[in-house]
């Protein structure tokens, strides 16, 4: 097991075991859309790191709105990223 795989496993276990810092949990809806900020909170990383993995193509996003669209991440895509898929 690589270090990255070990970290992802730890994060996956932490997410499933504890509510977030804001005392809310992720819904069970796989299509739930999360903001980049929320993804960073779930992963306990910086927003910059989330944008880095998005730019690298490791985490797909959905863009909403016109002009300056808002970027969102599907819950199922975040779970797949954590699982290492």
| pLDDT digit string (tens) for the chain, length 85 residues | 788 887 888 777 777 776 555 444 555 666 789 999 999 999 999 999 999 999 999 999 998 888 887 999 999 999 999 998 5
For the full predicted model, state whether its pTM sits above 0.75.
no
Domain count, the chain: 1
13 CB-contact burial (10 Å; exposed 0-12 / middle 13-18 / buried 19+): exposed
Determine the Cα–Cα distance for residues 56 and 51; give it in Å rounded to an integer.
Answer: 8
20-37 burial code (b ≥16 CB/10 A, e <16): eeeeeebeeeeeebbebe
Give me the domain span that covers residue 7.
3-23+31-83
């Amino acid at each position: 097991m690589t270090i990255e795989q070990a970290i992802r496993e730890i994060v996956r276990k932490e997410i499933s075991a504890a509510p977030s810092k804001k005392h809310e949990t992720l819904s069970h809806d796989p299509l739930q859309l999360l903001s980049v900020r929320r993804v960073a909170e779930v992963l306990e990383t910086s927003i910059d790191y989330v944008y880095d993995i998005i730019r690298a193509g490791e985490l797909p996003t959905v863009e909403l709105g016109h002009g300056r669209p808002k970027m969102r991440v599907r819950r199922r895509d975040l779970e797949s990223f954590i699982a290492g898929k």
